Structure 1
Amino acid sequence: MSLREKLLARLLAAADFVSGAELSGALGVSRCAVWKHIEALRDEGYEIAGSPRRGYRLLKVPDALYPPLFSPLVRGKFGRPYHFYPVVSSTNDVAKELARQGAPEGALVVAEEQTGGRGRLGRAWHSPPGGLWFSLVLRPPVSPAATQSLPVLLSLAVTDGVAAFPLPSVEVKWPNDIVYQGKKVGGILVELGAEAEAVHFVVAGIGLNVNITSFPAPLEKTATSLQKIAGEALSRPQLLSAILAAAERYYSCWCREGFAPFREDYERRLCLLGREVEICCGGSVARGTVAGVDAEGRLVLVSPDGTKRRFVGGEVTFKQKPRQTLRPDEDKAEA
């Protein structure tokens, strides 16, 4: 924990003013250094009252994900230990390195901003301040093949977390997207450290457009944010806490029973259900109507001749417009 984080933790724990002398002694720095860090916290959006005789008192905190603000909200194993970075290239890359070094299951990497965020198929992922960009280290006792349903499972946790707030329901778009009225709100990228028959670790990266009010021109028609949907900003620490609690609950059952117990619940949230789509997979294109998913999280497609096919992955586009949405070619953008 940095000196500034220690100072913030002291202010958060105090019910009243804390003198500069007390903070100086507790942190082992000069009172001038304390004042400089107080000013830096004010610049970051913390409202801190100051009195020459009484010291400092924290009045209001910004929508921030610093450890002293978020760690008290962690309810279980997911989120411990907590690694926060103002800026990283990719939280998945940081989490994979931590996993290789032996990070325990539940370790969490969170960044305020990603400069090299990515989605499926290596697409760039727009990751400015105001979103939730995080990666979770998992060590499931399953085969590598079984992890194919993990992005599908985790999308349920994300929608559960969003449902904890008073805003319209979001939907899932197989295999790894979170959408609202056809526009992308978030996505999930799962990467493995595995051998042919053994999973050493899984890193589950989740990106969610939360308090973002504008997007680059190429994404304006294909992406939206929870703030735009709700009409007001959401608490990112509270949302992250809710997602992690749901993810831990789902994951625990999934490790024992697989995806089958969640199939019907997933289908209720699936925006593709009953829609005519095209799936591009391995260079070939399949067309048909989405009948749902199977017990392993594979998409079930009914072709025009009635044949059923199952897909582990692929790029899905609508042949007909989804409700209130975009052109079919627009549905491929990552945000």
Structure 2
Amino acid sequence: MAHAIEAEGLVKTYPGDVRALDDLSITVGPGEILGLLGPNGAGKSTTVKILTTLIRPDRGKAAVAGHDVLRRPDRVRRLIGVVSQRSGADPDASGRDNLILQGRLYGMGGAEVRRRAGELLERLGLGDAARRAVKTYSGGMQRRLDVALGLVHRPRVLFLDEPTTGLDPEARTAMWAEIARLAGDDALAILLTTHYLDEADRLARRVAIVDRGRVVAEGTPDALKGELRGDAVHLEWREAPDEALARAALGRLPGVRDVLVDGPRLSARADDGAAAVPAVLAALDHAGIPAAAATVARPSLDDVYLRYAGRRFAQADAAPASEAPAQGTAAADAVTAGGAR
């Protein structure tokens, strides 16, 4: 089965020697949601810009919907929908008029585009607001309209670039429900970029975890978490402990492994976390570095990221972004939230 998206060895360096992508490779099959998961600056948006023909890679190749993004960008643009981080809707026009204009840009006729606009407005819960100016919409309503703009021409590939960033919990949950419904279309491939671990875990059939421009782990969320046998044991101190002492204290305990100290926090794997905690606390107390708190949890995508990237997701997300957000802005301005013109 041909891939809907296939990227191999993508490299992109921005001015100032900022390496946004460093030999990144991904594939997405028809009817699949791939979650491209990574902290801010990991290279997610740069990947989307390359795959949607907004910028060119320095090296590597990519094909979307069967067409090379460098040799046939025109064909790629006709077959994709894009929901970017910044809305492309006209705030002074109504939701219905935005959709009709978007459809006409793709060559859809009068009756067809009106029917399609009405269908999407009802499907996405915007029917009652169809004739209102978009600037009167709530944040969640605007994001649902952005999704409708991306779908109006029935694309084969849909790019959702951080679709829930900035939404309140209620609107975010509603957006999750819409994306889950889209996943029922076997003809539509979706690339979802996000830095929300729970979002990727819930929505994506498969995830590719990106760090510093590379895919460091890939697979289904359950398979990736299943690679981490046992439980995660997390310990905290008020101040960072002596790392050598902590490692030495826990290194002698049976069934405790993969010890990683990150400032005032320590993480380890244990075959039976609940049973291991008393021994862990006693060993640390004996070493003169008693922990202030201890928790036990089943493996999560945060633990997967910690294993492959060597740091916690939140720590990486707070680090300075490696991407150059201004790069490609002029090209991006020529594209609506729904796709290329």
What TM-score, normalized to structure 1?
A: 0.27
What TM-score, normalized to structure 2?
A: 0.27
Higher relative contact order (CA 8 A, sep 6+): 2
